[in-house]
Amino acid sequence: MSRILYVEDNPANRLLVKRVLEAAGHTVLEAVDGLEGIRVAREARPDLILMDINIPGMDGFETTTKIKSIPELKDTPIIALTARVMDGDREMALTAGCDGYIPKPIDVNLLPLQVTEFLGGKREEVPAAQKSAYLRQYSQQLVERLERKIDELTRANAELQRMDELKSRFISIAAHELRTPLTVMRGYLTILLDPEAGFQLDDRIAEMLKGMEKGINRLQRIVNDMLDVTKIEGGTLELHLSPLAIKDIIRGAVQQQLPFAQQRGQQIIADDFHGYPPIYGDAERLLQAFSNLINNGIKYTPDGGTIRIYGQVIHSDGDWHEQGFPACEGDMVEIIVEDSGIGIDPEDQERIFLRFYEVKDPSLHSTSQSQYMGGGIGLGLAIARGIIEAHGGKVWVESEGHDPEKCPGSKFHVTIPLAPSHQRTFSIG
Ligand code: ADP
Q: Which residue has the higher pLDDT, 324 or 220?
A: 220
Question: Does the beta carbon of 341 lie inside 6 Å of ligand 1?
Answer: yes
Question: Ligand 1 atom 11: the closest Cα is on which residue?
Answer: 358
| Whether the predicted pLDDT of 240 surpasses 80 | yes
For the Cβ of 293 lying below 6 angstroms from any atom of ligand 1, the answer is no
* pLDDT of the residue at 155: 97
Given ligand 1 and candidates 300, 337, 356, which is best to mutate, with the most ligand atoms within 8 Å of its CB? 300
Q: Which atom of ligand 1 is nearest to the CA of 377?
A: 3
Instruction: State the Cα–Cα distance between residues 285 and 383, nearest whole angstrom.
Output: 10
What pLDDT, on the 0 to 100 scale, is given for residue 372? 86
Ligand 1 contact, 28 CB (< 6 A): no
Q: How far is CA 245 from CA 1, 274, 373, 387, in A?
A: 75, 9, 32, 17
pLDDT band at 427 (very low <50, low <70, confident <90, very high): very low
Against a cut of 0.85, is the pTM above it?
no
Whether the per-residue pLDDT at 368 is higher than 80: the answer is no
Q: Is the CB of 386 under 6 A from ligand 1?
A: no
| Per-residue pLDDT tens digits for 273-325 | 998 999 989 999 999 999 999 999 999 999 999 999 999 998 876 554 444 44
- CA–CA distances in Å: residue 142 to residues 63, 79, 351, 382, 406: 12, 20, 34, 41, 50
What mean pLDDT comes out for the span 203-217?
92
Report d(CA 416, CA 390) in Å as an integer.
10
Dist. CA 268 → ligand 1 center (Å): 18
Q: Tell me, using a 6 A CB cutoff, whether residue 401 lines ligand 1.
A: no
Q: What is the pLDDT, as a whole number, of residue 363?
A: 60
Q: How far apart are CA 294 and CA 306, in angstroms?
A: 11
Ligand 1 mean position to 296 CA, how many Å?
Answer: 6
Cα 102 from Cα 111, distance rounded (Å):
9
User: pLDDT exceeding 90 applies to what percent of the chain?
Assistant: 76
**Mean pLDDT of the residues in the chain:** 90
- CA separation for the pair 18, 11 (Å, rounded): 10
Q: Measuring from atom 3 of ligand 1, which residue has the nearest CA?
A: 376
Tell me what the mean pLDDT of segment 191-195 comes to. Answer: 90
- For residue 261 and ligand 1, the question of a CB distance below 6 A is answered with no
* Closest to 328 (Cα-Cα) out of 318, 343, 337, 342: 318
- Predicted local confidence at residue 87, as pLDDT: 76
Give pLDDT, residue 346.
96
The pLDDT assigned to 328 comes to 46
Q: ∠ CA(327), CA(331), CA(336), 5° rounding? A: 115
Q: Is the pLDDT of residue 327 over 50?
A: no
Q: Would the CB of 376 count as within 6 Å of ligand 1?
A: yes
Does 283 sit in the ligand 1 pocket, CB within 6 Å?
Answer: no
Structural contact between residues 57 and 33, judged by C-beta atoms closer than 8 angstroms: yes
Average pLDDT value for residue range 30-46: 97
pLDDT given for residue 82 in this prediction? 84
The predicted structure's pLDDT at residue 377: 81
Q: pLDDT band at residue 373, thresholds of 50, 70 and 90? A: confident
For 118-146, the pLDDT digits (tens) are 999 999 999 889 999 999 999 999 999 99
What CA–CA distance (Å, rounded) separates 203 from 187? 21
Distance 375 CA to ligand 1 centre (A): 7
pLDDT over 70 at 326, yes or no: no
Which pLDDT score, from 0 to 100, does residue 324 have? 47
Confidence label for 374 from pLDDT (cuts 50, 70 and 90): confident
Closest by CA to 422, choosing from 233, 282, 277, is 277
Check whether 426 has a pLDDT greater than 50: no
Ligand 1 centroid – CA 351 distance (Å): 10
Closest to 69 (Cα-Cα) out of 56, 80, 57, 78? 78
Question: What is the best residue among 292, 301, 358 to mutate for testing ligand 1's pocket, by most ligand atoms within 8 Å of CB?
Answer: 358
The answer to whether 122 and 31 are in contact (CB under 8 A) is: no
- In the chain the domains, ranked by start, together with CATH numbers, are 3-126 (3.40.50.2300), 162-234 (1.10.287.130), 242-423 (3.30.565.10)
Pocket flag, ligand 1, residue 378 (CB < 6 Å): yes
User: Ligand 1: does its nearest atom lie under 6 Å from the Cβ of 359?
Assistant: yes
- Grade residue 425 by pLDDT with cuts at 50, 70 and 90: very low
Instruction: Indicate the Cα dihedral angle 233, 235, 236, 240, nearest 10°.
Output: 120
Strands (E), 211-319: 242-244, 267-270, 279-281, 306-314
